[in-house]
A and B are shown apart, each in its own frame.
Chain A
Amino acid sequence: MSDVKSKVMSIIVDKLGVAEDEVNAEASFTNDLGADSLDTVELIMEFEKEFNIAIPDDQAEKIQTVGDAISYIEGNAK
């Protein structure tokens, strides 16, 4: 597992209180992992902190699944 992937997964497990095996690339934060709109804002914020990046709002809106988050971060991390 890539470093980014494992860090993203551990943030999701921690913040959403879900089991690790529920967190796969296709899992949608809101539909599969029980997140509400505030949870997703918090996740984005944690990703920004962890990877030292700034995710603009229009990009953040497109991050709907675990896989979306991993590929965005892999493409934009410094």
Chain B
Amino acid sequence: MELKRVVITGLGALTPIGNTTDEYWQGLVSGVSGAAKITKFDAEKFKTQFACELKNFNVEDHIDRREARRLDPFSQYAIVSTAEAMVDSGLNVENLNLDRAGVIWGSGIGGLTTFQEEASSFASGDGTPRFNPFFIPKMIVDIAAGHISMKYGFRGPNYVTVSACASSNNAMIDAFNLIRLNKADVIISGGSEACVNEPGVGGFNALKALSTRNDDPKTASRPFDVDREGFVLGEGSGALILEELEHAKARGAKIYAEIVGSGLSADAHHITAPHPEGLGAISVMKQALAEANLSPEDIDYINVHGTSTPLGDIAETKAIKNVFGEHAYDLNISSTKSMTGHLLGAAGAIEAIACIKAIQNNIVPPTINHFTDDPEIDNKLNFTFNKAQEREVKYALSNTFGFGGHNTSVIFKSYED
């Protein structure tokens, strides 16, 4: 059976540096940081008191109050970015075969805010169970895909993938494969996360995963810098409309890019630490190149996982050098997490959008906050430090890795008929 081709025909972004795709891209190319003191709760007693929160976002501007109350923030963000992507795609649900229209979403954690509220309410009571009937359906991580399907009437494949910070890449890869296998015409994919709350910050702090640079949040996410000391927690959502090529052409859709390769692996090593030589990362990049029938020299840009943790950035750099050899020095590499923070299960989605916009505009967004080279990281690699660079981008590769040792890689290609 001949595999179908899969293109991207709609984008939606709700991020700490921009509440729409255009604002997000403007933020990326101008190199702004989304980090600031936490406003969602009093973080005074927390080791980390800042995060990359959404700015000027009022859910009731997008979703009516009654509906919004039934949605955990991670689902609210999903609905909002999906609405932008659907409008952007020009899809008219009345002209779709809804049985072949699906939703495959990603989230690392799901409704943590809802869980916290309900468990706290029970713990502070006299033991009488007074759980809200919406508790479970607000909290469960699959519900985001369920809500999106109900909004648009999409009756095709529907679920959420969970692989911590790799979740939305897993979602896009599943969507890519289902369309290639002719099981759907259109799939809404992407991811959302909403963990800037007490258990989110406290839990990642306990893991020593977060930067504690409270005196200067905007420079805290500094991937590949010698003084990096953890990631900056972010929240938000990214949505992408994946569509079978002929289906997109038949309706005269605007085509942003094509997905041509993917890789999936596990480190099988440690719950949070990456394999020191990046074995799982090497594997996914090689798989993606092979699936796309590309040689390493074809890749122009890598949007790295690059979370600004001491071990992760070194392992990923080693993996890139292993896979790309001499071409590693000709690549543009950047970690847009230096600006957005780490959106966990939504990272793959918003970084896919960064790759697609880089292809569209031939501009590589920067890795901001570079001050001092790390002697353990090859400084001859081009990390696109501090300023965006112009470069013709035909192929962009996006890595995401998750706690648990999950690795994913996706290759986007500029669209040619």
Contacts and interface: CB of A to CB of B under 8 A. Distances in A.
A43 B168 CA distance: 36
Interface string B391-412: 0000000000000000000000
B65 A45 contact: no
B375 interface: no
Interface string B58-73: 0000001111010000
A52 to B, nearest CB: 11
Interface string B124-162: 000010101110010000000000000000000000000
Contact of A45 (B67, B69, B133, B137): B133
Nearest to A37: B133
Interface string B166-179: 00000000000000
Q: Interface on chain A toward B: helix, strand, loop, or mixed SS?
A: helix
Q: Interface on chain B toward A: helix, strand, loop, or mixed SS?
A: loop
Range, interface on chain A: 10 to 19
A42 B270 CA distance: 43
Interface in A14-34: 15-17
Contacts of B66: 16-17
Contacts of B65: 17
A27 B74 CA distance: 34
A17 B64 contact: yes
13 contacts: A17-B64, A17-B65, A17-B66, A17-B67, A38-B133, A38-B134, A42-B132, A42-B133, A42-B134, A45-B130, A45-B132, A48-B130, A54-B128
Which are the 7 A-B pairs with shortest beta-carbon distances?
A17-B66, A41-B133, A38-B133, A17-B65, A42-B133, A45-B130, A42-B132
Interface of A: 15-17, 38, 41-42, 45, 48-49, 54
Interface of B: 64-67, 69, 128, 130, 132-134, 137
Given A16-B66, A49-B130, 15 more contacts: A15-B69, A17-B64, A17-B65, A17-B66, A17-B67, A17-B69, A38-B133, A38-B137, A41-B133, A42-B133, A45-B130, A45-B132, A45-B133, A48-B130, A54-B128
